[in-house]
Amino acid sequence: MEEKALVLHPERCTGCHACEMICSLVHDSECNLSLSRIGIMKTNGGGTNENIPVVCQQCHDPICADVCVMGAISRDEETGALVVNEDLCVGCKTCVIACPLGGVLYHYIKGCAMKCDLCGGDPECVKSCLYDAIEFLPMDEWGIKTRLKGAENLGRIFEIVYK
Amino acid sequence: MRAGGYAGQVLYIDLTKEEIKKEPLDLDMARKFLGGFGLNCKFAWDLLDPTVDPYSPDNMIFMGMGPMVGTAAPASNKHSVMSKWPSTGTISPGTAGGDFGINVKLSGYDEVIIKGKAKKPVYIKINGDDVQICDASDLWGKDTYETTDMLWEKHGRHYSVIAMGTAGERLVNTTICLIDKCTSWGKGGLPAIMGSKNLKAFVAHGNKGIRVADPKRLIERTRMIQQRFESYPDRQKLLDLGTMDGFVFWADIHGMSMNNWTSRFPTEEAYRLYNTDYYLENINAGRISDPTCPMGCKDHVKVKKGEYTGTEAWVSSFYGRVVHMAARCQVGSYEKNVKAQEVFQRTGLCIHSYTALIDWAVELYERGILTKKDTGGVELKHDFETTMYLAEQADKHEGLGGILSQGYKKAIQDIGRGCERYAVHVKGMEPLYDPRINRLSSAEFNQVVNPRGAHAPQGASTLYMSKDADPKGYRDWLEDRGVPKEALKRIFPRSGYFNIARLCSYAEDWVAFMNSVGMGCLRGRVDNFFKGEDWSEAYSAVTGFETSLAELKTAIRRCYNLYKALNVRVGFSRKDDVFPDRWFEPLETIDRGTMVLCDYFGTPLSREDCEKLLDDYYDERGWDIQTGIPSEETLMEIDLQDVFRDLQKRGFME
């Protein structure tokens, strides 16, 4: 399995909620910001640079799975997603408390933990984000992209220094 | 079966009795009037006394969220407010995007209806079943930004806030509310109506979920529409510029009249002061999108240099606001332009309306109709200082600014002295587009016949086309939106000509339709990527009511006729659909020569020609040509028998 994750770009997020609407629709057959596995947290007027998308980062060493006494959170070997086994989950919310990224929430209708399952390997939120604020990338590609961004910033600094 | 899309409840709030009632939404009625704008018309028809004083506790605020609002469908966010506006006396709609509508829907309500008057300042909190009238004494006296920040502080940023500014508290009616500091709502005086009710704000957050009858079908259609947006080659440019992508149309192709509709803002000046490179480098700080909109166009702007560094605003339709400050007030620089906008946004003054009134006042001063006695000793000019001075007076509702801030109708009475001759308005509201510059296209024509007054967006703006564009675009658009063949024959009777008046009615219906179901946007940059069938598909998938485009179009004809009838009952008729005198005077420009009122093909139009066009418009609508009132036959055809009987009883029908 190639490790992939949802890569978030707050500077591109316009706060349109399209990712949340499609996420809840796909998972719960209704549109509901509060049941979306991804959340757009707005500050101030809610423009780009003022919104922070929050979603499970599918941790390499997942705290949520570690703290789950029921063993209800495990990795799907096919997709790499950490998924909740709703039959095992008792709704104790320990994982919700433990995750420092706000990646796990409580499904207040089903009474169990709720988190991003990467839609079986083809995340719908990525397809719905027309602003490219969410990408689904293999980790090596993300590494290269991160370096490129760094290079751009450094390039700008060097340009200033040597002018 | 529980219907999808519709949340299923109507929320009634009586501020006098401090009473909150929830009633189930009548789904048969909802299908007949769709939702949003259409349902607002129906509730207003049933509940609102047409003779009511806009400031009376008996006036009502109707907020309608259509069935598509808060779903995953692209651009499904438009919510509509209706009331009897104090500036015009019309019963008409205002539309907004923003997060408020989706949160009301997610709380379980399709419609919120407010009446009465609170004893002391209050705000309304909607959080699912929990609806409260809350104390707002600490918010009174605060501007829109402060009010919004305080309510977020109290309830959390996940709440969406509608706030009115300080002007609304003093019943200034050329005002708007702001949703989450950005989206403007209720031009014509929603803040003043709220002020008269001691109602400072609304907050809403919901988590009930909106059921979708056929998720797979909706997702399929959503992907199809999104694909069209994504594959558009100039998409990134449109996203970068937001509404400022219209700059070139303003500066080069069309233009904006200035000096109270007597000249045109020069192209060179537009490029010098407001070019898009300057905007991108020094003004734009971020892009904001309405819920699920694929072409987010709202602006976060922040001044980066000079005296007003740090001045910040979140603005919908920023380009339009820039143009108004630039041409009508001639504020002189981009930074001053943004500063003035910030002041208007904070106080709640409507940039569209109040800049027009300032422009008019300066001409009255130059003509000696207004003197320093009226202005408090200040010389009125087209400049930043005058704009800020009159804005401050308007906010405080005092002096000349206070008089102007009551809109044309009241100000004409208060000033007197023949000032009416220089007032360019229809039904008390200022037009946006000058047909001498743009030619008489559908948006320009709509300004005359719109029951709301000369308010451009309500009608026809999706058909906003450059005068140099191929008119075939109109025909394609109309065919796609299911306009019947017989109508097309009337609109395009011969090659090289089309009848803008007949066409206009279908464009108006379309905008009203989008505002009713709550999906789509009047902006071409969004509407151009939709096809007619998208709406019937999405509506059917969401609601579970299998509905054809033709059925939807019948429903919207019903809504629009009811809208007209609402205003007939107030006393409006053909006598109020008047082309402003100034449009028939030549417009002298410094760089384009003399411009006169022309049709789309450049043929000059006299007032007689325009009256003939009005005949055609009423005829196409099935309204009486003499009175502009919907005919018995038309009302019967769309199942509005009770409306006909009511109009007849009141003596509006033969």
**Minimal Cα distance from B236: which residue of A?**
A131
Contact B72 A44 (CB under 8 A): no
Q: Render pLDDT for B591-646 as a digit per residue (tens, 0 to 9).
A: 999 999 999 888 999 999 999 999 999 999 999 999 999 999 999 999 999 999 99
Q: Which residues of B touch A31 (CB under 8 A)?
A: 70-72, 209-210, 212
- Contact call for A49 and B286, based on CB within 8 A: yes
Residue of B nearest to A30 (CA): B211
Nearest chain A Cα distance for residue B159, angstroms: 10
| pLDDT tens for each residue of B259-281 | 999 999 999 999 999 999 999 99
Interval B408-429 mean pLDDT: 97
DSSP secondary structure, B421-454, as one string: GG---BTTB--S--HHHH-S-HHHHHHHH-TT-S
**Per-residue pLDDT tens digits for A121-145:** 999 999 999 999 999 999 899 999 8
| Contact: B289, A14; criterion CB under 8 Å | yes
Question: Which of B245, B220, B223 has the alpha carbon at shortest distance from B234?
Answer: B245
Q: What percentage of chain B has pLDDT greater than the value 90?
A: 90
Specify the amino acid at residue B11.
L
Query: Do residue B71 and residue A31 have CB atoms under 8 angstroms apart?
Result: yes
The pLDDT, as a whole number, for residue B460 is 53
What's the gap in Å between the CA of B181 and the closest CA on chain A?
A: 6
Minimal Cα–Cα distance from B173 to chain A, Å? 25
Name the minimum distance, in Å, from the CA of B230 to any CA of chain A. 7
Query: Would the pLDDT of B84 be above 60?
Result: yes
A123 near B CB under 8 A:
no
**A chain contacts of residue B215, beta-carbon cutoff 8 Å:** 25-26, 29
Cβ atoms B474, B483 nearer than 8 A: no
- Interface pTM (ipTM) of the complex? 0.94
Indicate the SS3 state at residue A73.
strand
Domains and CATH numbers, chain B: 9-204 (3.60.9.10), 233-422 (1.10.569.10), 435-528+548-649 (1.10.599.10)
Distance, in Å, from the CA atom of B205 to the CA atom of B128, rounded to the nearest integer, reads 7
Q: How far apart are CA B159 and CA B86, in angstroms?
A: 29
| Residue B175 pLDDT > 90 | yes
Site from B287, B315, B345, B346 to mutate, A interface, most A CB atoms within 10 angstroms? B287
Tell me what pLDDT residue B253 has. Answer: 79
Chain A: closest CA distance from residue B191 (Å): 20
- pLDDT score at B59: 98
Contact list in A for residue B236 (CB cut-off 8 A) is none
- Residues B471-511: pLDDT tens digits? 788 899 899 999 999 999 999 999 888 899 999 999 999 99
Write down the architecture of domain A4-138 according to CATH.
2-Layer Sandwich (3.30)
Q: Mind listing the pLDDT tens digit for each residue in B133-169?
A: 999 999 999 999 999 999 999 999 999 999 999 999 9
C-alpha–C-alpha distance, residues B575 and B562, integer Å:
19
Least CB-CB distance to A34: which of B207, B212, B286?
A: B207
Cβ distance of A130 and B226 shorter than 8 Å: yes
pLDDT digits (tens, 9 = 90+) for B368-377: 999 999 999 9
Q: Which of B102, B208, B224, B289 to mutate to test the interface with A (most CBs of A within 10 A)?
A: B289
Record: contact A128-B72, CB cut-off 8 A: yes
Distances (CA, A) of B315 to A4, B180, B281, B423, B507: 38, 10, 17, 27, 26
- Residue A130 contacts B, CB cutoff 8 Å: yes
* Residue B654's pLDDT band (cuts 50, 70, 90): confident
Q: What is the pLDDT of residue B473?
A: 84
- Would the pLDDT of B120 be above 80? yes
- The two beta strands, B61-65 and B9-14, are unpaired
Chain A residues 31-90 with a CB less than 8 Å from chain B? 31-35, 41-50
Contacts of A114 in chain B (CB under 8 A): none
- Is B222's CB within 8 Å of A128's CB? yes
Q: What is the mean pLDDT of residues B20-45?
A: 98
Output b/e per residue, B69-94; b: 16+ Cβ within 10 A: bbbbbbbbbbbbbbbbbbbbbbbbbb
Which of B414-423's residues contact partners 24+ apart within 8 Å by CB, and which partners?
A: B415/B364, B415/B369, B415/B370, B415/B374, B417/B369, B418/B369, B419/B360, B419/B364, B419/B369, B419/B370, B421/B581, B422/B260, B422/B360, B422/B363, B422/B364, B422/B367, B422/B369, B422/B582, B423/B360
Go through B168-189 and write b for each residue having 16 or more CB atoms within 10 A of its CB, e for each that does not: bbbbbbbbbbbbbbbbbbbbbb
Q: What pLDDT, on a 0 to 100 scale, did the predictor assign at position B250? A: 84
E strand intervals along A37-111: 39-42, 51-54, 73-75, 82-84, 104-107
Contacts of A125 in chain B (CB under 8 A): none
State whether residue A134 sits within 8 Å of chain B by CB. Answer: no
Contacts with B144 from chain A: Cβ below 8 Å: none
The crossing angle, in degrees rounded to 10, of helices B500-517 and B532-543 is 30
* Average of per-residue pLDDT across B466-470: 69
- pLDDT by residue (tens digit) across B542-566? 999 999 999 999 999 999 999 999 9
Residues of A in contact with B210 (CB under 8 A): 30-32
For the cut 60, the answer to whether the pLDDT of residue B1 exceeds it is no
Task: Please name the residue of chain A whose CA is at the shortest distance from the CA of residue B182.
Answer: A45
- B288 vs A31, A47, A108: nearest CB: A47
Closest by Cα among B220, B162, B170, B163 to B196: B170
The pLDDT-based confidence of B362 (bands split at 50, 70, 90) is: very high
C-alpha B100: how far from its chain's center? 16
CA distance B147 to chain A (A): 12
Give the closest-approach CA distance of A145 to chain B in angstroms: 20
Q: Inspect the interface and report whether the beta carbons of B71 and A41 lie closer than 8 Å.
A: no
Look at residue B255 in the predicted model and tell me its pLDDT. Answer: 86
Q: Which residues of B touch A (CB under 8 A)?
A: 70-72, 74, 99, 102, 106, 157-158, 180-182, 207-212, 215, 218-219, 222-223, 226, 229-230, 239, 285-294, 296, 298-300, 314
